[in-house]
């Protein structure tokens, strides 16, 4: 099994690096921005070309596996399901704000088993195999040891494209600000979560995320010693509002969000 998982990881890395090269190539070209659900929900040629490339690499090796990707296919039923965000942080990318990534997770029998998040802007590759730890460019990573929310912790959150339709998080966001805590809104959920995994952030929450935003990064976080749950404090399932942290401050974040 472990040898097989390593092979899956290698293919995920190859796919993520190939997509990352597409991100970098198009940075100085016309990448054809258009909008999806509303004017601020952007998509570019890069989102589509990256997903095409990732599909080609993965299905070239594993033709009987399935892919759940943001842009091109929502297959959810398969023993081996690759959960892919070809470009996480499209709005950042479209503005030349260098905080975006490729996210590729593999779920086997519904269990997150392999995760790769690649930030081509910094050439940072976050990887994990279930039970084998989490790594950044080959070096083992761990969540921060920040003991208390008021240490203070550095937090991040994100908002859906249709903020007006669900103002809940604006109010929650302001609660932390009123406590005097530093809160960021970086704009690429997979990378935000990977930053908690390597200790650059202490905690993160977001209301509406899709499986492709979180599949890879949640495994990386778990393998780095972090904790995550639904906002209710119960076990997280896709679609639930997500709260995560270094573990030590999880309960305190949940209390503020309550």
Q: CB burial class (10 A; 0-12, 13-18, 19+) of residue 132?
A: middle
Supply 39's token pair: 């004017």
Q: Which residue has the tokens 């309960």?
A: 251
Known binder of ligand: residue 244?
Answer: no
256 DSSP 8-state letter: H
Q: Is 92 helix (H, G, I), strand (E, B) or coil?
A: helix
Q: Considering CB distances under 5 to 8 angstroms, the limit depending on partner class, which of Ca ion, ligand IPD, none binds residue 160?
A: ligand IPD
Based on the shown chain and the rule CB under 6 A, indicate whether residue 90 belongs to the binding site for ligand IPD: yes
Shortest distance, CB of residue 216 to ligand IPD, whole angstroms? 12
Based on the shown chain and the rule CB under 6 A, indicate whether residue 115 belongs to the binding site for ligand IPD: no
Based on the shown chain and the rule CB under 5 A, indicate whether residue 88 belongs to the binding site for Ca ion: yes
Binds ligand IPD by CB under 6 A, chosen from 189, 216, 217, 227: 189
Binds ligand IPD by CB under 6 A, chosen from 20, 49, 68, 89: 89
For the stretch 133-166, what's the b/e string if a residue is b when 16 or more beta carbons lie within 10 angstroms of its beta carbon?
ebbbeeeebebbebeebeeebbbbbbbbeeeeee
Considering only residues 205 to 234 of the shown chain, the ones binding ligand IPD according to CB under 6 A are 206, 209, 213
Strand order in the sheet with 124-129: 73-74, 66-69, 80-88, 101-108, 111-119, 124-129, 134-136, 139-140
Considering the complex, state which of residue 133 and residue 160 has its C-beta at the smaller distance from ligand IPD: 160
Q: How far apart are CA 191 and CA 214, in angstroms?
A: 9
Based on the shown chain and the rule CB under 5 A, indicate whether residue 206 belongs to the binding site for Ca ion: no
Q: Yes or no: say if 205 and 242 are a contact pair by the CB < 8 Å rule.
A: yes
Q: Please choose, out of 20-28, 53-61, 182-190, 224-232, the segment that lies near ligand IPD by the rule CB under 6 A.
A: 182-190
Q: Yes or no: say if 244 and 228 are a contact pair by the CB < 8 Å rule.
A: yes
Largest Cα–Cα distance of the chain, in whole Å?
52
Size of the site for ligand IPD (CB under 6 A): 13
Binds Ca ion by CB under 5 A, chosen from 119, 213, 222, 223: 213
- Beta bridge mates, 73: 69
Q: Considering CB distances under 5 to 8 angstroms, the limit depending on partner class, which of Ca ion, ligand IPD, none binds residue 202?
A: none
Residues annotated within the binding site for Mg(2+) are 70, 85, 87-88, 213
* Interface positions with ligand IPD (CB under 6 A): 85, 88-90, 158-160, 187-189, 206, 209, 213
* Interface positions with Ca ion (CB under 5 A): 70, 85, 87-88, 90, 213
């Amino acid at each position: 099994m472990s040898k097989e998982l390593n092979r899956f990881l290698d293919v995920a890395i190859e796919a993520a690096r190939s997509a990352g090269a597409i991100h970098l190539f198009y940075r100085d070209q016309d990448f054809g921005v258009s909008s999806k659900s509303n004017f601020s929900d952007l998509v570019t040629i890069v989102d589509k070309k990256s997903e095409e490339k990732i599909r080609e690499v993965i299905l070239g090796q594993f033709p009987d596996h399935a892919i759940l990707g943001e842009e091109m296919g929502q297959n959810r039923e398969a023993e081996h399901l690759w959960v892919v965000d070809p470009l996480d942080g499209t709005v950042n990318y479209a503005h030349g704000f260098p905080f975006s990534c490729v996210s590729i997770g593999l779920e086997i029998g519904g269990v997150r088993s392999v995760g790769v998040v690649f930030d081509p802007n910094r050439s940072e590759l976050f990887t994990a195999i279930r039970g084998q730890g989490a790594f950044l460019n080959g070096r083992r990573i761990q969540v921060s040891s920040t003991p208390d929310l008021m240490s203070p912790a550095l937090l991040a959150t994100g908002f859906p494209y249709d903020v007006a339709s669900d103002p809940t998080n604006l109010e929650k966001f302001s609660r932390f600000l009123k406590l005097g805590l530093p809160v960021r809104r970086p704009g690429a959920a997979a990378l935000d979560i990977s930053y908690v995994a390597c200790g650059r952030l202490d905690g993160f929450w977001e209301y509406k995320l899709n499986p492709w935003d979180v599949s890879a990064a949640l495994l990386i976080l778990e393998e780095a010693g972090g904790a995550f749950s639904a906002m209710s404090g119960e076990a997280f399932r896709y679609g639930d509002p997500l709260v995560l942290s270094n573990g030590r401050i999880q309960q305190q974040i949940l209390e503020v969000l309550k």
